[in-house]
């Protein structure tokens, strides 16, 4: 059997409504030497039947059916089965441009790259979300030059462009294998830990300013679901894992870690405003035990302790806007 050029890994959990489009966007890639590892993570909506039909007519598909344990474990299983030169992680409700993998593969081989970062756009079918708020386009904002992973991560962070969803990264499998990388089980937002470490280890990276991926916004997905106690606990796990890494001889990585943890802390503090009082206090205790309270901005600290301030702010804006519009109507 010929070794595949790219291994595509796709966890599937109850996305039957969108699954055919997503699978076909991978099978229709202009690069044909691929293996498509699909992990059905205990779906109960007919997703498995759809996947069986696809695997029956395309021998590039490796279909794994397992009980539901979450995307971390599903992706790790996919990694253990992968044999391609490069790895790409696909979601089961999104779309990939037909020439995406071929262009990435050619560029990665031409310049001996460990990592390619590219652009994505978001869309939704029912106008339930403002797709423009989920922006993954960096064209004109980020240099198109080869640099190390830490340099790329730092430059992205400074510009406020650092995002780590799986589907905008094309990764050399050797990088993952050599550094014994895996997904941390049992947490949400596991991508932030895994893909940040990809940047830590990568030696040659390139940003490719092309929109290869279309991210579907839909209700009840990980991206659009409400902030929860489980999510806050997951972020504490991510912080703890970052702090376990010894960067004594790598000052840039220490600087990156400091920025990342500060960003996470402030993000969690702000989003925790939606939690119940007891849950918010657990978040505060989590910060305190780790000595992180000093990283929270005053604005986010106020929101964390007094979440009603957000509704007051929204109400105040509404009043001001109504007054402005009324004044405009008078004249």
pLDDT digits (tens, 9 = 90+) for 116-165: 999 999 988 665 455 555 679 999 999 999 999 999 999 999 999 999 99
Q: What is the pLDDT of residue 331?
A: 33
Specify the pairing of strand 169-172 against strand 86-89.
Answer: antiparallel
Collect all residues with Cβ–Cβ distance below 8 Å to 154 and sequence separation of at least 6. 252, 255, 256, 259
CA dist 89 and 198 (Å) reads 13
Q: Which of 61-65, 175-179, 225-229, 235-239 has the lowest mean pLDDT?
A: 225-229
Beta bridge partners of 115: 171, 205
Kindly report the length of the chain: 331
* Mean pLDDT for all residues in the chain: 91
Q: What is the pLDDT of residue 309?
A: 80
CA dist 71 and 239 (Å) reads 20
Q: What is the CA radius of gyration of the chain?
A: 21
Residue 78 above 60 pLDDT?
yes
Cα dihedral value 268, 273, 274, 275, nearest 10: 80
CA dist 75 and 62 (Å) reads 13
Q: What is the pLDDT of residue 2?
A: 81
Closest CA to 271 of 189, 194, 190: 189
Q: What is the pLDDT of residue 127?
A: 52
Q: What is the pLDDT of residue 220?
A: 60
Alpha helix positions (H), the chain:
16-27, 47-57, 71-81, 100-110, 149-158, 173-178, 191-201, 229-244, 251-271, 277-289, 298-305, 308-330
Q: What is the pLDDT of residue 321?
A: 45
What share of the chain in percent tops pLDDT 90? 82
Helix (H) or strand (E) segment spanning residue 169: strand 169-172
Main-chain dihedrals φ then ψ at residue 9, nearest 5 degrees: -115, 125
Please, are residues 81 and 64 in contact by the beta-carbon 8 Å criterion? Answer: yes
Q: Which of 42-46, 137-141, 232-236, 319-323 has the lowest mean pLDDT?
A: 319-323
CA dist 188 and 72 (Å) reads 8
Cβ burial of 277 (10 Å; 0-12, 13-18, 19+) is exposed
Buried b (16+ CB within 10 A) or exposed e, 100-117: bbbbbbebbeeeebbbbb
CA dist 5 and 8 (Å) reads 10
Closest CA to 136 of 163, 116, 170, 156: 163
């Amino acid at each position: 059997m010929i070794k595949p050029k790219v291994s595509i890994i796709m966890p599937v959990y109850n996305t039957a409504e969108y699954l055919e489009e997503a699978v076909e966007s991978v099978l229709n890639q202009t690069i044909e030497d691929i293996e498509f590892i699909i992990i059905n993570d205990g779906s109960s909506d007919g997703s498995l039947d759809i996947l069986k039909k696809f695997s029956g007519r395309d021998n590039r598909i490796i279909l794994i059916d397992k009980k539901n344990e979450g995307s971390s474990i599903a992706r790790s299983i996919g990694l253990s089965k992968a044999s391609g030169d490069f790895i790409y992680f696909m979601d089961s409700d999104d779309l990939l441009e037909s020439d995406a993998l071929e262009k990435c593969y050619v560029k990665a081989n031409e310049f001996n790259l460990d990592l390619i970062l590219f652009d994505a756009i978001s869309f939704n079918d029912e106008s339930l979300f403002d797709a423009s708020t989920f922006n993954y386009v960096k064209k004109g904002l980020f240099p198109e030059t080869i640099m190390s992973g830490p340099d790329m991560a730092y430059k992205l962070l400074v510009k406020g462009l650092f995002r780590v969803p799986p589907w905008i990264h094309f990764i050399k499998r050797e990088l993952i294998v050599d550094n014994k990388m895996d997904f941390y089980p049992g947490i949400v937002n596991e991508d932030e830990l895994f893909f940040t470490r990809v940047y830590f280890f990568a030696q040659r990276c390139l940003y490719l300013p092309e929109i290869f991926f279309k991210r579907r916004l839909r209700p009840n997905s990980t991206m659009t679901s409400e902030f929860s106690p489980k999510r806050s606990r997951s972020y504490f796990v991510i912080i703890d894992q970052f702090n376990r890494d010894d960067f004594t001889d790598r000052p840039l990585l220490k600087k990156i870690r400091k920025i990342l943890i500060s960003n996470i802390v402030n993000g969690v503090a702000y989003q925790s405003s939606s939690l119940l009082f007891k849950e918010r206090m657990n978040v505060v205790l989590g910060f305190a035990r780790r000595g992180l309270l000093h990283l929270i901005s005053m604005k986010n600290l106020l929101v964390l302790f007094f979440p009603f301030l957000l509704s007051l702010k929204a109400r105040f804006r509404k009043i001001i806007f109504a007054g402005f519009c009324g004044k405009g109507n008078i004249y």
